[in-house]
């Protein structure tokens, strides 16, 4: 008997073939549903329905719980980052969140809850990465994990850390990680070998295989020009970070580069274009998605991916031109 379902990844699109009918999906459960509806008469002949098909795909591991549960009435964000702290216990040159020159700031738990709740009313989000700065510096880091899971139960959630504080993290933290089944992403920096090893051991000991990605951060990218020499539309079109949406204080920004530029400007008393972001309370999901699809003035300071320079990781001397290739 022929297999009913066959899902393959082709050119970033999943192709499901059901009874020989091919359905292409671009990240969207809405599309699955629309497409399935349009062929429902054929499917009825085989006594199948959309729900059964989606459930079967899910049970076979061919679509994720997220895709299964997406609400077609909401907006969609594929990837969201948000800070738990703005500051850091490492001092990386070219930190693309400018955390090496950012004042100490712990995000307020109740402000975070309000923002995440509002986002969950308007959007489905596939992947949420909680970071900073260094998120483990926040004494209430566990609360951010629970809140994110509460409002986005079907999203993939990751905590991104340099690992330095993991071995001494509290039992409250580990319990939150286990209870919510989030993943821990680690960046491995030169010179933190011992701590990194201890952090991996701690993940092994305290979680249920919840190590996410390991980013070997021996090289950092420099992708900005101090002078606004780039064509904003062209740069934006080629920008790999434009879907690096950041939630900052009740607003969404295109990327950390623009969203946290205010911290760079403040530290160096400069005036590079900052992105204020779009207010998640006063705009509809549609308006927010339209806003995120268009370039912003900061794009004039960014290089396209093929011109980005990758340089050895180094500790920061807080040189104001360190981020820029034209200085």
Cα distance between residue 47 and residue 58, in whole Å = 19
187 touching ligand SAM, by CB under 6 A: yes
SS3 305: helix
Cα distance between residue 122 and residue 286, in whole Å = 9
Q: What are phi and psi of 296, to 5 degrees?
A: -130, 160
**Interacting partner of 299 out of ligand SAM, ligand SF4, none (Cβ under 5 to 8 A depending on kind):** ligand SF4
In whole angstroms, how large is the CA radius of gyration of the chain?
22
Residue 93 vs 155, nearer CB to ligand SF4: 93
Structure tokens at 29: 């459960």
147-166: contacts with ligand SAM (CB under 6 A): 160-162
299 touching ligand SF4, by CB under 6 A: yes
97 touching ligand SAM, by CB under 6 A: yes
Which stretch in 24-32, 84-92, 103-111, 207-215 sits in contact with ligand SF4 by CB under 6 A? 84-92
Which stretch in 52-60, 88-96, 116-124, 193-201 sits in contact with ligand SF4 by CB under 6 A? 88-96
Number of continuous H segments (helices) and E segments (strands) in the chain = 12, 13
Q: What are phi and psi of 23, to 5 degrees?
A: -125, 125
**Interacting partner of 82 out of ligand SAM, ligand SF4, none (Cβ under 5 to 8 A depending on kind):** none
Residue 95 vs 239, nearer CB to ligand SAM: 95
Choice from 50, 221, 249, 316 touching ligand SAM (CB under 6 A): 221
316 touching ligand SAM, by CB under 6 A: no
Q: What are phi and psi of 70, to 5 degrees?
A: -60, 140
Single out the residue of 223, 189, 192, 191 nearest to residue 310, CA to CA.
223
What is the x/- site pattern for ligand SF4, positions 125-164, by CB under 6 A? -------xxx---------------------------x--
Residue 72 vs 240, nearer CB to ligand SAM: 240
Where do we find the tokens 């795909």? 57
Q: Where does residue 155 rank: exposed (0-12), middle (13-18), buried (19+ CB within 10 A)?
A: buried
Residues that bind ligand SAM (CB under 6 A): 88, 94-97, 131-132, 134, 160-162, 187, 215, 217, 220-221
């Amino acid at each position: 008997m022929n297999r009913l379902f066959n899902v393959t990844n082709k050119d970033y699109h999943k192709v499901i073939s059901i009874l020989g009918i091919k359905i292409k999906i671009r990240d969207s459960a809405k599309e699955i549903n629309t497409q399935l509806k349009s062929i429902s008469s054929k499917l009825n002949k085989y006594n199948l329905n959309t729900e059964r098909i989606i459930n079967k795909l899910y049970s076979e591991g061919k679509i994720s719980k997220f895709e299964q549960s997406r609400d077609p009435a909401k907006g969609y964000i594929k990837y969201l980052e948000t800070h738990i702290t703005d500051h850091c216990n490492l001092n990386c040159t070219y930190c693309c969140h400018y955390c090496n020159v950012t004042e100490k700031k712990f995000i307020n738990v109740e402000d975070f809850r309000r923002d995440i709740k509002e986002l969950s009313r308007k959007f489905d989000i596939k992947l949420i990465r909680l970071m900073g700065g260094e998120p483990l510096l926040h004494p209430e880091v566990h609360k951010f994990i629970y809140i994110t899971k509460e409002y986005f139960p079907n999203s993939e959630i990751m905590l991104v850390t340099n690992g330095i504080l993991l071995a001494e993290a509290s039992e409250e933290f580990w319990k939150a990680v286990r209870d919510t089944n989030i993943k821990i992403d680690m960046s491995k920096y030169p010179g933190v070998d011992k701590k990194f090893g201890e952090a991996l051991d701690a993940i092994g000991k305290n979680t249920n295989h919840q190590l996410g990605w390991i980013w070997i951060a021996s090289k950092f990218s420099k992708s900005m020009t101090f002078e606004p020499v780039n064509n904003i539309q062209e740069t934006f079109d080629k920008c790999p970070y434009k879907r690096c949406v950041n939630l900052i204080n009740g607003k969404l920004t295109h990327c950390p580069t623009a969203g946290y530029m205010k911290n760079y400007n403040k530290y160096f008393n400069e005036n590079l274009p900052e992105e204020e972001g779009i207010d998640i309370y006063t705009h509809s999901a549609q308006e927010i998605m339209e806003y995120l699809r268009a370039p912003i003035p900061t794009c004039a300071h960014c290089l396209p991916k093929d011109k980005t320079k990758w340089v050895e990781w180094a500790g920061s001397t807080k040189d104001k031109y360190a981020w820029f290739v034209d200085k």
